[in-house]
Amino acid sequence: MSELRYPNESRAYREARDLLLKEEQELVDKVRSVAKQRRNLPPGGQLKEDYVFQWANDGKLGKSVKFSELFGDKNTLLLYSFMFGPNWDNPCPSCTSLVDGFDRTWYQVTQHAAFVAIAKAPADRINTWAKQRGWSQIALVSGSESTYQADYKCQGDSDDMQWPVMHVFRRLDGKIFHFWGTELSGNHVDTVWPYWNLMDFTPEGRPDIPTPPQNFRSEYLEKHYLNNE
């Protein structure tokens, strides 16, 4: 039980809060347990091929980069696929919210592991969008000329049927292996998304909306995804 007491709180509040605190501690313990189990996974399948992508960042826009080069001097690579197909007007608002946050934590993460975001849209369109959003740190690549998204289940039957997926790859003895990927349906990237987690702290909870409020729309997403739900 917590020894904290806040001004004017009732006994009923404290009793309910202490019960919740117990559940919260159990959740923390479970998260740690799952993280340990994840760390102990054996190597997954070896990378299918050394895919070639195109940089979407200023200074190297359009230049080719091999998958193996994304690691830099690190042995672990986080590769987030965000929903932005070649024929989309704008990317997914939810994915955009995620990458907004990733851009601000990119420096901290890359002290330990390489971190890259990839989309199927051409490099120049990703670059234009990055400028509009103020993404100045995170490494961005286009997979428009590779089969990576299809091979690693980041898309459906076409290049425009994209899915949000976080993959982790590991380099061992000069070879690259798949380590882990988001395989759950629904809110499988919640743990790295501040928006939903912050809403979970509030009395109102998560808004009953498919995508977060944004200052733009993705008509492609609305037509081909949201209207089918």
Domain containing residue 227: CATH number = 3.40.30.10
Q: Is residue 19 part of a domain?
A: no
Q: Is residue 107 part of a domain?
A: yes
Strand 139-142 and strand 114-119: the pairing is: parallel
Contact between 45 and 177 under an 8 Å Cβ cutoff? The reply is yes
Can you read off the two tokens belonging to residue 50? 């050394």
Q: Is residue 17 part of a domain?
A: no
Domain that holds residue 57: 43-229
Give the pLDDT confidence score for residue 186 in this predicted structure: 62
Q: Is residue 152 part of a domain?
A: yes
Q: Is residue 59 part of a domain?
A: yes
Chain-centroid distance of CA 23 in Å reads 27
Q: How many CB atoms lie within 10 A of CB 16?
A: 11
Give the pLDDT confidence score for residue 185 in this predicted structure: 74
Q: Is residue 33 part of a domain?
A: no
Give the pLDDT confidence score for residue 228 in this predicted structure: 58
Residue 186 backbone class (left: φ over 0; alpha: ψ -120 to 50; beta: rest):
left
Q: Please give the Cα distance from 21 to 15 (Å, whole number).
A: 10
**Can you give the pTM of this predicted structure?**
0.94
Residue type, 35: A
Q: Is residue 212 part of a domain?
A: yes
Give the pLDDT confidence score for residue 187 in this predicted structure: 60
The total number of residues written for the chain in this structure: 229
Question: What's the average pLDDT block by block, 10 residues per block, for the chain (229 residues)?
Answer: 88 96 97 97 98 98 99 99 97 96 98 99 98 98 98 96 96 98 78 90 93 94 82
Domain count, the chain: 1
Can you read off the two tokens belonging to residue 80? 């987030």
Q: Is residue 119 part of a domain?
A: yes
